Each structure stands twice: as C-alpha cells, then as structure tokens.
Amino acid sequence: MPESDWQALYRAALSESDPKRLYYSIEAARRAIHDRLEQLDSSGDTREREQLDRALHALFTLPGRKRSA
C-alpha cells in the first residue's frame, strides 16, 4: 500500500532537523492529518483513526523533544 500524504508529511516533520523549518513541517502534517480525519468521519476505520491520533500527539510534543535532544 503506498504511503499517504499525511504519512509522508508526518515522517518529514519527524526527520526535520532545521528548527526554523520544523514549525512549517509540523503544521503541514497537522493539516494533512486533520483533512484525513474529516475524510474518515463517515467510515469506521478505527485502526487508521488511532494512527492519526497518535501522530497528532507526537507532532504536539515534537518541538519540546527536538529542543531537548
């Protein structure tokens, strides 16, 4: 199965090493995740919904983890 847009943007944010670009990478991934959640709103794909929720949490904590690394 090919990687979805939100997954590619999520991985890009996780691997971003430039602090100046990190915010923009996180925001792009968050927007893509929220868009995907809206698409799933009418379906019952709980597995992907859980993946999206975990990814959003990871993105929320990412700036602090990058600063302390």
Residues 15-65 have pLDDT tens digits of 999 988 999 999 999 999 999 999 887 777 789 999 999 999 999 999 887
- Residue 45's pLDDT is 77
Pairwise CA distance, residues 19 & 13, whole Å: 11
Is the separation of the CB atoms in 17 and 63 below 8 Å? no
The residue with tokens 């990058």 is 66
Pairwise CA distance, residues 33 & 6, whole Å: 5
- Residue 24's pLDDT is 96
C-beta atoms surrounding 33 within 10 Å: 22
- How many structural domains does the chain have? 1
- Residue 54's pLDDT is 97
- Residue 60's pLDDT is 94
Under the banding of pLDDT at 50, 70 and 90, the label for residue 69 is low
Which residues constitute the domain of residue 18? 5-68
Which alpha helices (DSSP H) does the chain contain, by range?
5-15, 19-40, 46-68
